[in-house]
Amino acid sequence: MMRKIHLKSFGCQMNKLDSSLVAGALTEQGFALTDKPTEADVIIINTCSVRQHAENRVFSNLGHIKHLKKSRPEILVAVIGCMAQRLGAELLAHEVVDIVAGPTQLHEVPALIRQAMTDHEKHLSVTDKIRQPVADEKIIEAGHKLDDFEIAYDTDSNHIKSQAFIRAMRGCNNFCTYCIVPYVRGPEVSRPPNAIVEQAKKLAAQGIQQITLLGQTVNSYRYESPDKTYTLANLLQQISEIDKVHWVRFITSHPGRFDKSILQVMADNPKVCPYLHIPAQSGSDRILKAMNRGYTADHYIALIDKARAIVPDTAIAGDFIVGFPGETEDDFEQTVELVRRVRYKNAFVFKYSTRPGTHSEKKLEDSISAEVKQQRNTKLLEVISEIAEKDNQRFIGQTMEVLVEGLSKKPHLNVNAEANKNAGAQAPRIFHPQLIGRTAHDYIVVFNGPESLTGQFINVKITKTAPLTLFAELC
């Protein structure tokens, strides 16, 4: 009988891509996937260490598994990903955990599972000295191999996907002082361009129409080959030349060393989505310096202006950290000012969380109280939302192309009421469910329509807007 695996992701897009690759490798080796933990022989938890909150969620999940294991003690539990690398043996000591494997050992997961099934021992696989200046050749090779496993179906829903993520690069060398990522994902490694482009072709042939290239600082993608140095702009160009690819995007961009050639490809090529996720983190030069971000607020704003000059109407998304050690009211006000100047499509706001082993944990005191962090978080989100609310109104009446992602998970009441009213006038008995789609600029659009549109590019007309959502009807 086929062994069943339940796999749950707790992290960023990179973490979700890793889950999908591990799922691909496991299914190829004869395991089956299940979305029900109660039916699984193996539960895999792919973890995140970026904030303490992310780690707490994993520990509470392990608490639930403890109950499950009481009735089915034979279930194997594997904890993989960033937290596995950070905590290693400490995590393995947890009573329910059987396997711990870091982000640079994901290729070993199928073998570790088989081993644990036979020897009933605990197994640990992480990289000892992960911050050697250059990643271990063997690890690089194994990583490249695993990266080829991206599959065209969604491990959450077990459906064929219409979009896929492809890794452009692994790791990070930036060492922002607050950030754990360089210590859990290791040095930057760019994948060979031909592997990326071939993978895009293969996925497109299987029905994938949107490709998102991933990297922690994807704009620093560089691959030296004897003939030339390949950049992100080259990858975007080559992928957009694949017939069946309709849209190509990339996340996340770092504002330092952002090459104009990327903007040029976006401007010249309608398949390259006019969307940049380019976190500023702060609007205060003093804090940006303490964060080791390598740019000033003026540099960041100039870059956004340049992007909008070259690619008109580019949608800008961002991330901010509030309550970084020593952040004064004045520093925070400068962040608010930057947000007002840039006018984000949307931006995530995070409360600073001390990460063990980072520069800021060792050298700086977590001096801002939880209350002040919360106040700044709320205030910044209000400003972001107020701006998006105003800016989004310009879309009312416009026709937009969306890629339909599927049924909306949360019902949006106002769109249903309106659409049903319309349906009443034209075709009284057809009540379509609510669907979610995304535009090239990454706006989320909610509209009523048949579920069979999932995975298709269609036109919708915007009827109403909110800060994070556009509401529409089928054209």
* Widest distance between CA atoms in the chain: 67
User: Minimum Å distance from CB 256 to ligand SF4?
Assistant: 9
174 in contact with ligand SF4 (CB under 6 A): yes
- Given the complex with ligand F3S, which of 168 and 272 has the nearer CB atom? 168
Q: Is 266 exposed, middle or buried (0-12, 13-18, 19+ CB in 10 A)?
A: buried
Q: Mask: binding to ligand SF4, 225-254, rule CB under 6 A, as x and -?
A: -----------------------------x
48 touches, from ligand SAH, ligand F3S, ligand SF4, none (C-beta below 5 to 8 Å by class): ligand F3S
353 in contact with ligand SAH (CB under 6 A): yes
Instruction: Choose the stretch contacting ligand SAH; rule: CB under 6 A; options: 159-167, 233-241, 345-353, 381-389.
Output: 345-353
- How many positions of this chain bind ligand F3S (CB under 6 A)? 13
Judged by CB under 6 A, the chain residues 38 through 97 that form the site for ligand F3S are 48-50, 81-82
Nearest Cα neighbor of 84 from 148, 34, 22 is 22
User: Minimum Å distance from CB 185 to ligand SF4?
Assistant: 8
Output the six-digit token pair for 310.
């070259």
The answer to whether the CB of 444 falls within 8 A of the CB of 415 is no
* Omega before 252 within 30 of 0, i.e. cis: yes
The answer to whether the CB of 68 falls within 8 A of the CB of 50 is no
348 in contact with ligand SF4 (CB under 6 A): no
Beta-carbon contacts of residue 106 (< 8 Å; ≥ 6 apart): 18, 21, 22, 80, 143, 146
DSSP 160: B
11 in contact with ligand F3S (CB under 6 A): yes
Among 281, 392, 408, 434, binds ligand SAH (CB under 6 A): 281
339 in contact with ligand F3S (CB under 6 A): no
175 touches, from ligand SAH, ligand SF4, ligand F3S, none (C-beta below 5 to 8 Å by class): ligand SF4
- Given the complex with ligand SF4, which of 50 and 233 has the nearer CB atom? 50
Beta-carbon contacts of residue 330 (< 8 Å; ≥ 6 apart): 284
12 in contact with ligand F3S (CB under 6 A): yes
Is the sign of the CA dihedral 77, 83, 89, 93 positive or negative?
Answer: negative
User: Minimum Å distance from CB 271 to ligand F3S?
Assistant: 27
* Residue 56 parent element (H or E): helix 52-71
Q: Mask: binding to ligand SAH, 355-384, rule CB under 6 A, as x and -?
A: x-----------------------------
CA distance 155 to 6: 9
Q: What are phi and psi of 223, to 5 degrees?
A: -130, 115
The answer to whether the CB of 116 falls within 8 A of the CB of 99 is yes
- Given the complex with ligand SAH, which of 319 and 401 has the nearer CB atom? 319
100 in contact with ligand F3S (CB under 6 A): no
Q: Which residue has the tokens 């925070």?
A: 332
User: Minimum Å distance from CB 425 to ligand F3S?
Assistant: 47
CA distance 373 to 343: 22
Beta-carbon contacts of residue 180 (< 8 Å; ≥ 6 apart): 49, 50, 82, 86, 355, 356, 357, 358
- How many positions of this chain bind ligand SF4 (CB under 6 A)? 10
User: Minimum Å distance from CB 183 to ligand SF4?
Assistant: 9
* Cα–Cα distances in angstroms (integers) from residue 274 to residues 220, 240, 307, 384, 464, in the given order: 18, 13, 9, 20, 22
349 in contact with ligand SF4 (CB under 6 A): no
What is the residue-wise DSSP string for 334-396? HHHHHHHHH--SEEEEEE----TTSHHHHHS---S-HHHHHHHHHHHHHHHHHHHHHHHGGGT
Instruction: Choose the stretch contacting ligand SF4; rule: CB under 6 A; options: 156-164, 172-180, 189-197, 198-206.
Output: 172-180
Q: At what angle do helices 13-28 and 137-147 cross, to 10 degrees?
A: 80
Among 75, 126, 168, 180, binds ligand F3S (CB under 6 A): 180
Nearest Cα neighbor of 55 from 274, 393, 355 is 355
338 touches, from ligand SAH, ligand F3S, ligand SF4, none (C-beta below 5 to 8 Å by class): none
User: Minimum Å distance from CB 166 to ligand F3S?
Assistant: 16
162 in contact with ligand SF4 (CB under 6 A): no
255 in contact with ligand SF4 (CB under 6 A): no
List of residues contacting ligand F3S (CB under 6 A): 11-12, 14-15, 48-50, 81-82, 180-181, 184-185
List of residues contacting ligand SAH (CB under 6 A): 50-51, 178-179, 181, 216-217, 252, 254, 279, 281, 319, 321, 350, 352-353, 355
List of residues contacting ligand SF4 (CB under 6 A): 172, 174-176, 179, 181-182, 216-217, 254
